[in-house]
Amino acid sequence: MTTETRASTLTRTPGPSRPRTRPPVGPLGRTASGAERAIAPVVLGGAVIGIWQLLAGSGLVEAYLLPSPAAIIAEIIEFWPSMLSAAGITGLNAFVGLVAGSLLGVVAALVASTSRLLDGMLAPIVAALAVIPIVALAPVLNTMFGADSRTGRQLIASLAAFVPVFITTARGLRQTQPVHRELMTSFAATPWQVMRTITLPTAVPYTFTGIRLASSLAVISALVAEYFGGPRGGLGGLISTSAASSAYPRAWAYVVAAIALGLAFYLVTLALERWASRRR
């Protein structure tokens, strides 16, 4: 008997695709179809907005506390160009911060992974960085870089992004399997070859999880940093200006834009994470 025929009878022949996961089962034991799963949150969201609209229209809640969804949508339409440019400004600050912070996080984690001493030196500094209040940092940086500079905000966003990327990458760099390390020893691989061949590829999915966590933090930080002076035009600045001039529906409209911006960052980084982890 040849090897080929035996191989096909004695070992299962895997299909081209990976094993499919079954669709989730609902509380009643039914399996939810893809359409049902997509429609359910839309229906819930629609219901909440409907109730909100009724509540705001009933006069039970003052309009300055909770403007109606219709009023907010009207503002979004009216100020659409301003929404886009504001989201662009804040988004760019958040993006620059996310990229710079992630790069720094990866480099610092690599440095920390080279020795226990460096790890011990860096870990408490990162823990301290993680809890610096933006309210303290933003005015200082604005003064340092001048009132018309965006550098301060980008630095704040990069600081916020740095922390989770550093932590997850540092953890990922310690996840190499003993059997992989022993194989590399048996291949007489150099430290650089070990790093390139097993340590870095093992850490990559961890890093991308960190980047996903960092993406939301970068957007929030870039936005909040705008409350403390510096050039106008970003979403955070416009939210505070609108609220200060009692244009509450417009303030809420910018909040909606901020949520959309944050979600966009999250979804893109989630897709990156899925891509990086596809073989695990």
Partner 1 sequence: MSAAVVVRGVDKIFDTKSGHVTALSAVDLDVAPGEFVSLIGPSGCGKSTLMRLIADLETPTAGTVEVFGTSAHQARVDQRYGIAFQQAGLLPWRTVSANIALPLELSGMARAEVRQRVDELIALVGLGDFGDRFPDQLSGGMQQRVAIARALAKKPQLLLMDEPFGALDEMTREYMQTELLRIAAETGAAVVFVTHSIPEAVYLSDRVVVMSPRPGRIAEVVPMSLGSTGSRADDLREDASFFEMITAVREALHGGTHATAPRGVENR
Which one, of 64, 117, 82, lies nearest residue 244 by Cα?
Answer: 64
Q: Is the dihedral of CA 251, 254, 256, 258 positive or negative?
A: negative
Q: Which stretch binds partner 1 (CB under 8 A): 92-100, 154-162, 192-200, 231-239?
A: 192-200
Q: Which stretch binds partner 1 (CB under 8 A): 4-12, 163-171, 209-217, 263-271?
A: 4-12
- What is the Cα 36 distance to its own chain's centre? 27
Q: Which of 201, 229, 231, 233 binds partner 1 (CB under 8 A)?
A: 201
3 binds partner 1 per the rule CB under 8 A: yes
Helices (H) and strands (E) in the chain, counts: 12, 0
279 binds partner 1 per the rule CB under 8 A: yes
- 67 versus 205: smaller Cβ distance to partner 1: 205
Q: Give the number of other CB atoms < 10 A from CB of residue 158.
A: 25
Q: Count of residues binding partner 1 (CB under 8 A)?
A: 25
CA angle (54, 255, 238) in 5-degree steps = 125
- 64 versus 187: smaller Cβ distance to partner 1: 187
- What is the Cα 190 distance to its own chain's centre? 35
CA–CA distance, 69 with 226 (Å, rounded to integer)? 25
- Interactions with partner 1, residue window 42-81 (CB under 8 A): none
Q: How far is the CB of 54 from partner 1 (least distance, A)?
A: 52
Q: Which of 11, 21, 58, 246 binds partner 1 (CB under 8 A)?
A: 11
- 185 versus 245: smaller Cβ distance to partner 1: 185
Please, are residues 63 and 56 in contact by the beta-carbon 8 Å criterion? yes
- 169 versus 242: smaller Cβ distance to partner 1: 169
21 binds partner 1 per the rule CB under 8 A: no
Q: Which of 12, 20, 22, 116 binds partner 1 (CB under 8 A)?
A: 12
- 37 versus 274: smaller Cβ distance to partner 1: 274
Please, are residues 157 and 98 in contact by the beta-carbon 8 Å criterion? yes
Helix orientation angle between 116-130 and 151-172, rounded to the nearest 10 degrees: 140
- 128 versus 188: smaller Cβ distance to partner 1: 188
| Residue 35, CA distances (Å) to 28, 40, 104, 155, 214 in order | 17, 9, 42, 43, 31
- Interactions with partner 1, residue window 151-190 (CB under 8 A): 177, 179-180, 182-183, 185-189
Q: How far is the CB of 218 from partner 1 (least distance, A)?
A: 27
- CA end-to-end distance (rounded Å), the chain: 35
CA–CA distance, 243 with 271 (Å, rounded to integer)? 35
- 18 versus 22: smaller Cβ distance to partner 1: 18
- 209 versus 242: smaller Cβ distance to partner 1: 209
Q: How far is the CB of 24 from partner 1 (least distance, A)?
A: 22
Q: How many Cα atoms within 13 Å fall on the side-chain side of residue 11?
A: 8
**Interface ranges with partner 1 (CB under 8 A):** 3-4, 6-7, 10-12, 14, 18, 177, 179-180, 182-183, 185-189, 193, 197-198, 201, 279-280
